[in-house]
């Protein structure tokens, strides 16, 4: 799906239907150290995508981080998406953008990015928002937060059934997000999620991000 990386979902005939989607911490103080952590995490197992989600920083900080981290992702065949900002995604030649409900329309992002890039949309607990996103041309929809999370304040707590309903009515990939761990990810995969999006459970794992990626892939591959 993505030029630099492979954001194919598991329906492409791969053995593992639900794949891991990583999201960076909202703040990266030591970019070189994080790049090393990222390299070891992506070397440890299958990851479909990395989203750069820096918050409360200037555009140049996002640019510097993207220029440092996108080559690491691409070296492992991992798609690299920018959070919120379709304009920066174009400028940086990223593989796509993730849009929240306040980050502009899919149509606007598509007019900037073109058809070779991925556009994802936050849909919280709403099938209506997901239908709207799909009709607008989104490449995936994201539902969440399924579990308690310290990474983002959210009022929406969908039930996993929304993933099953979505999977029954469309082939448009779904991403599940919010408090996802190796211990709880399988329930979301079994419900129909094509990707599980994770931040804290990878970057804050005391065993290191590589072990966390291994644990997620072992859990997702289990029957
Ligand atoms: C894959 C994925 N799903 C949801 C979000 C949340 O996006 P948004 O609602 O715009 O909130 P912020 O992440 O911008 O704080 C996401 N980033 N990625
Ligand atoms: C960025 C984000 N969006 C959410 C939503 O519900 O839309 S929950 C969330 C936080 C994801 O990080 P963690 O894996 O650490 O919970
Ligand atoms: Mg956003």
Give this complex's ipTM: 0.99
pTM, entire model: 0.96
What are the E-state strand segments in the chain?
19-23, 49-52, 79-83, 96-99, 118-122, 140-144, 174-177, 195-198
CA–CA separation, 77 and 113 (whole Å) = 20
- Provide the CATH topology of domain 19-218: TIM Barrel (3.20.20)
Whether the predicted pLDDT of 10 surpasses 90: no
61-96 per-position pLDDT tens digit: 999 999 999 999 999 999 999 999 999 999 999 999
CA–CA separation, 61 and 160 (whole Å) = 36
- For the chain, what is the mean pLDDT? 95
Ligand nearest to the CA of 182: 2
How many whole angstroms from 178 Cα to the centroid of ligand 2? Answer: 4
Whether the predicted pLDDT of 194 surpasses 70: yes
Spell out the domain ranges in the chain.
19-218
21, 80, 122, 138: residue to mutate for ligand 1 pocket, most atoms within 8 A of CB: 122
């Amino acid at each position: 799906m993505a030029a630099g990386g492979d954001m194919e979902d598991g329906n492409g005939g791969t053995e593992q239907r639900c794949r891991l989607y990583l999201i960076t911490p909202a703040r990266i103080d030591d970019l070189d150290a994080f790049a090393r952590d990222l390299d070891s995490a992506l070397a440890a197992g299958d990851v479909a995508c990395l989203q750069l989600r820096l918050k409360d920083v200037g555009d140049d900080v996002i640019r510097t981080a993207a220029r440092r981290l996108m080559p690491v992702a691409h070296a492992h065949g991992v798609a690299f998406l920018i959070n919120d900002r379709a304009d920066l995604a174009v400028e940086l030649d990223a593989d796509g953008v993730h849009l929240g409900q306040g980050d502009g329309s899919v149509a606007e992002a598509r007019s900037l990015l073109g058809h070779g890039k991925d556009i994802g949309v936050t849909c919280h607990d709403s099938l209506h928002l997901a239908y709207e996103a799909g009709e607008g041309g989104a490449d995936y929809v994201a539902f969440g937060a399924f579990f308690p999370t310290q990474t983002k304040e959210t009022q929406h707590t969908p039930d996993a059934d929304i993933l099953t309903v979505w999977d029954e009515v469309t082939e448009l990939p779904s991403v599940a997000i919010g408090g996802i761990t190796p211990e709880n990810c399988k329930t979301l995969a079994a419900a129909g999620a094509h990707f599980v999006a994770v931040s804290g459970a990878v970057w804050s794992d005391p065993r290191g991000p590589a072990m966390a990626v291994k644990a997620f892939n072992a859990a997702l591959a289990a029957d």
